[in-house]
Chain A
């Protein structure tokens, strides 16, 4: 018997802000607003119909006020970059409960040119004493573990040591993701026209790029960009009159098992080990049913450890699994077809953009990079220091 919430909601609209990448003259709120209005236009839904709101990085009260919305359902779940994926699951539950029929989920982060109004204000930037309520400031920052590259590189080294995973295998992920980026004109690293360092890369290019926090070179690390994104989730009833074909939410899952990287129970397993089976079980799908994976790629390692944690391969087999072009164009498991956080965009909390690409692939809107016959997509957002995950299974009719 199907799960009672199976196909309980529909993704009706998705969009980026007007521009993404290097956007010098816009604040985070402007990026939220642009993306929100673009996503509503994509859905063919007027702002007056929005009765639920969700966001992270800024208060839902701020976003709703700015846009002139009076929501009856509000979700400020903020667990890092996975938040927006988790918001979709919560929206489904609110819709199933009759508390909302059109939920607008927004994201926006601007920080390349000092419009840094939402990013990482809890982290110590200088040498002062940390806020005692910030445990990472107390027990990690004094050692120079400040920011994602430091935390994730520690986890990656544990995997390499425990399983013999190599830097060349990790580099394969960056190379294949860049191949997808070459087919997405919105990707920052699409080509030399879009960025001086854009265009195809090789495993050697990754291994020879600048070291950030060993074992990560800079090409193991995501971009740092400005961007906004938004997703509109509606009830199955409201979905009967949409501008575009509906994308069904088939399964949802969420979990977190630590906050600081030093407290992670197993550095080689993310909470996707919990959220993945929950989402796939609700959707009633197996790994063989998945046509597209959208996996948060803050770092190359994030993809490898997530695929293992989701059960696409066994623990420790990720290095071999991602090699040989499996994730790239023409591969058996097309993954991160927008070019990912590694080569498309990554404004700090990237999870929203997983939703955009999965929806577009399921609608068949992706042109040159379209995955043939794409019916079922798995989305997995990761937030914090490999701390939180949200998994969705999405499907087209």
Chain B
């Protein structure tokens, strides 16, 4: 596990509103807010459903399966902390349950010839600190 003293990239912050999400990630599970009125999950976690405005919202575990909605290959490090990572793949994944989220695509060469929008992907977790594990995706 990388410790916070050596990890030089931005680390998410646990707040009362997102705590359940990061607790799930810590267990290597992907949990999202679920609107009971819409009967649909949504991302990112917030206490009011962005689709219908209901405050009758819950948490549900996602399958962790989805498809690659889009990607890019970062060649110039956005901050010094990413200098050792380039080139790396940024991606938006659409979960089978519907929500889309930002992530990194791992376990595949950062080469447009090998990456296909629409390819099936599966969640995987990178342990950043004692508290934070970051959900990433790899080819399914």
A residues near B, CB below 8 A?
Answer: 124-132, 135, 137-147, 149-150, 153-158, 161-162, 210-216, 260-263, 267
Contacts and interface: CB of A to CB of B under 8 A. Distances in A.
Given A155-B70, A158-B69, A132 B15 contact: yes
A302 to B, nearest CB: 15
Given A129-B11, A158-B70, A262-B100, A145 B79 contact: no
A127 B81 contact: yes
A124 to B, nearest CB: 5
B10 A141 contact: yes
Contacts of A135: 44
10 contacts: A127-B7, A132-B15, A142-B128, A143-B134, A146-B79, A147-B78, A153-B90, A158-B117, A215-B112, A261-B92
Contacts of A125: 79
Contacts of A267: 70, 92
Given A144-B90, A149-B76, A211-B76, 7 more contacts: A124-B10, A140-B102, A144-B77, A146-B10, A157-B72, A213-B73, A214-B72
A260 B92 CA distance: 11
A214 B104 contact: no
Interface of B: 7-13, 15, 18, 44, 69-82, 85, 87-88, 90-92, 100-104, 112, 117-118, 128, 134, 136
B102 A262 contact: yes
B13 to A, nearest CB: 5
A126 B5 CA distance: 12
A128 B10 contact: yes
Nearest to A136: B102
Contacts of A213: 72-76, 90
B8 A157 contact: no
| Across the A-B interface, the 5 shortest Cβ-Cβ residue pairs | A161-B117, A127-B8, A153-B72, A214-B73, A158-B70
Contacts of B128: 142
Nearest to B117: A161
B90 A126 contact: no
Given A144-B90, A161-B117, A262-B101, A126 B8 contact: yes
B104 A144 contact: yes
A262 to B, nearest CB: 4
Contacts of B9: 127, 142, 144
Contact of B79 (A124, A132, A139, A211): A124
Nearest to B92: A262
A144 B70 contact: no
Nearest to B82: A144
B101 to A, nearest CB: 6
B12 A129 contact: yes
Contacts of A137: 10, 12-13
Given A139-B44, A260-B102, A145 B90 contact: yes
A364 to B, nearest CB: 41
Nearest to A157: B70
B13 A138 contact: yes
A139 B10 contact: no
A159 to B, nearest CB: 9
B111 to A, nearest CB: 9
Contacts of A138: 12-13, 18, 44
B78 A150 contact: yes
A28 B78 CA distance: 23
Contacts of B80: 126
A266 to B, nearest CB: 11
Contacts of B70: 154-155, 157-158, 161, 267
Given A132-B15, A145-B90, A213-B75, A126 B69 contact: no
Nearest to A212: B76
Contacts of A145: 78, 90, 102
A131 B15 CA distance: 10
B71 A154 contact: yes
A142 B13 CA distance: 10
A157 B134 CA distance: 24
B90 A130 contact: no
Contacts of B10: 124, 127-130, 137, 141-142, 146
B75 A214 contact: yes
